[in-house]
Structure 1
Amino acid sequence: MRFGFIGSYGTPEQQVRLARECEEHGWDGFFTWDGVSLAEEGFDAAPTWDPFGLLAAAAVVTERITLGAMVFALPRHRPWELAQRALTVDHLSGGRLVLPVGVGVPTDRAFTSVPGQPTALRDRARLLDEVLAWLERSWTGESFAHEGELLRTGDFHFPKPPVNGRIPVWPVAVWDAERPPRRSLDRALRWDGIVPQVRGESPEDAEAGPDDVRRLVDWIAERRGPDAGPFDVVFQGRLDADPQTAAGQARAAADAGATWWLESWWDPATVTHEWLLERVRQGPPRV
């Protein structure tokens, strides 16, 4: 299992420094986040930054670690601009970009304050699929047009494909062992990984635990078959300050089948850049 760290707060300069410190202290990935103007207490006072701008800068000061954002809200991105930005970071980093993707949060004014933006969950999910289909066509190196239900464009041509032919995509999907939501789960199965969530009232409540991940991994294995290629399962959590306890947390996630642990701290009342930097310098646990 690999370990990534989410830079939840800080100036652009501090975020880039955090990415460099992640590489220096043994982490396997640095992730920022994708939001514009959040109408949510605590988050509405924090500045937001363009994730691709931050990741481009992080690509320049690192050589090894994976780069991404938790998560890219694809339905509010213009796909042609998204394709260009992703391709730029992919080449700048030597193919180290991954794309965790989702429908976006309904509290972002980039949805609610812009006429014509989809706000209903069903519409955002449909547009997510169309943007992903458009993005994949952009990686072929061939000219293409798109005629979808919600997205229509004429000819585009991106002659340079991603460094590794494609950029890994990790869709967010809700997991419920009793009633698996097939639309979001089937979307993840079509791509390269999954960011699982469970039903909950808060972001922390929605984080899948080891038991959830174990059942999800079994469900995925049955449907992908024994000859399927690599598939990432992303576990979001918060490691304990005690190294032995943290190692136990990581082992539980790895034993459940998670391939990534993403260190995820979001409380705007307590989390600062300095605090995040201190956590990064502790390094990931030894498992």
Structure 2
Amino acid sequence: MRSALFLAPFDELADPHVVVRLAAAAEEAGWDGVFLWDHVRWRAPVQAVADPWILLSAMACATERVRLGPMVTPLARRRPAKVARETATLDRLCGGRLTLGVGLGDDAFGEEWSRFGEETDPRARAGLLDSALDVLTAAWSGEAYGVPFLPRPVQDPLPVWVAGLPGKRAPLRRAARFQGFVPVNLQHPDQVAEIAADLRDLRGGELGDLAVALERDVDPAPYAAAGATWVLTELGPGSSIADARAVIRGYRT
């Protein structure tokens, strides 16, 4: 099982210089990936929020091996053509290390949909997500909207991990079209075993990537035994620079 830092770029971790140094330190310590939350707002007491795409570009220049990406970006609030350009460029900048996490997003944690006039209906957002994924798939192949989309990403295919709640079938069906699945709000390793079985059924026996986000004091071993291929050690809202450094130092010790 591979291991990644999973950082919310809020408050102390909203400083781009800090996040870039942490990504480089994680690579040096042996971590396999560094992924960032993608939000424009979060509920109090969080105040400072950094843009993950700018951070990822800087992280790409400061690292050579770790996988990078937003985990996850809500495509319903993004212009698909812009995301296609961003992802292709970022994948080339980092030498083929981008993993794109995608999901519906949720207004509950920061009202970042309702306050900014974005689509709040989950069904409508699901339709926008699927449409955007179709555009990205076409653009990464070299053409979308009837025009060339070049340069293409280094990776073919560029890995896409789809997020979804355990027990929901639609996100699993969506994930079966791509390379990975990220269950949201996991409560128990048994849920991972059920998800793994469903994904194998949908993919004709193949699992793909199954990435679980866990708090730093949770033992990942039962989740790995249940089928997880990645564990994302979560440093969410309220995490400090000292917290991140401690987690990095504690890797596989």
Q: Radius of gyration: which is bigger?
A: 1
Q: Which runs of 4+ in 1 moved over 2 A?
A: 107-111
RMSD: 1.7
Offset of residue 211 of structure 1: 1.1
Give the equivalent residue in structure 2 for 1:4: 4
Is the 1:12–1:54 contact (alpha carbons within 8 Å) kept by the matching residues of 2? Answer: yes
Give the equivalent residue in structure 1 for 2:157: 166
Alignment of 1:119-134 (within 5 A): 119-134=120-135
Picking from 182, 200, 203, the partner of 1:195 is 182
Is the 1:7–1:18 contact (alpha carbons within 8 Å) kept by the matching residues of 2? Answer: no
The answer as to 2:186 corresponding to 1:186 is no
The answer as to 2:196 corresponding to 1:217 is yes
Offset of residue 126 of structure 1: 0.9
Offset of residue 110 of structure 1: 4.6
Give the equivalent residue in structure 1 for 2:248: 280
Give me the whole-angstrom Cα distance separating, in 1, the residues matched to 2:21 and 2:171. Answer: 35
Offset of residue 7 of structure 1: 2.2
Offset of residue 135 of structure 1: 0.7
Give me the whole-angstrom Cα distance separating, in 2, the residues matched to 1:27 and 1:12. Answer: 20
Offset of residue 140 of structure 1: 1.2
Give me the whole-angstrom Cα distance separating, in 1, the residues matched to 2:111 and 2:203. Answer: 38
Picking from 28, 32, 38, the partner of 1:34 is 38
Tell me the TM-score normalized by structure 2.
0.91
Give me the whole-angstrom Cα distance separating, in 2, the residues matched to 1:192 and 1:128. Answer: 16
Task: Give secondary structure in 2 for the equivalent of 1:261.
Answer: strand
Task: Give secondary structure in 1 for the equivalent of 2:161.
Answer: strand
Name the aligned partner's letter for residue 5 of structure 1. L
Structure 2: runs of 5 or more not aligned: none
Q: State how many pairs are aligned.
A: 248
What whole-Å deviation, never above 9, does each CA across 1:4-41 have from its counterpart, x for those lacking one? 00122411111111100110111100011111123x22
Give me the whole-angstrom Cα distance separating, in 2, the residues matched to 1:28 and 1:222. Answer: 28
Give me the whole-angstrom Cα distance separating, in 1, the residues matched to 2:84 and 2:96. Answer: 14
Offset of residue 173 of structure 1: 1.8
Offset of residue 99 of structure 1: 0.8
Picking from 17, 20, 23, the partner of 1:13 is 17
Tell me the TM-score normalized by structure 1.
0.81
The answer as to 2:126 corresponding to 1:135 is no
Task: Give secondary structure in 2 for the equivalent of 1:233.
Answer: strand
Give me the whole-angstrom Cα distance separating, in 2, the residues matched to 1:15 and 1:141. Answer: 32
Name the aligned partner's letter for residue 136 of structure 1. T
Structure 1: runs of 5 or more not aligned: 146-154, 198-205, 241-245
Is the 1:100–1:171 contact (alpha carbons within 8 Å) kept by the matching residues of 2? Answer: yes
Is the 1:208–1:236 contact (alpha carbons within 8 Å) kept by the matching residues of 2? Answer: no
Task: Give secondary structure in 2 for the equivalent of 1:139.
Answer: helix
Is the 1:36–1:109 contact (alpha carbons within 8 Å) kept by the matching residues of 2? Answer: no
Percent identity (aligned): 35
Give me the whole-angstrom Cα distance separating, in 2, the residues matched to 1:111 and 1:164. Answer: 32
Task: Give secondary structure in 2 for the equivalent of 1:23.
Answer: helix
What whole-Å deviation, never above 9, does each CA across 1:187-219 have from its counterpart, x for those lacking one? 11111110013xxxxxxxx22421110121122
Offset of residue 42 of structure 1: 2.3
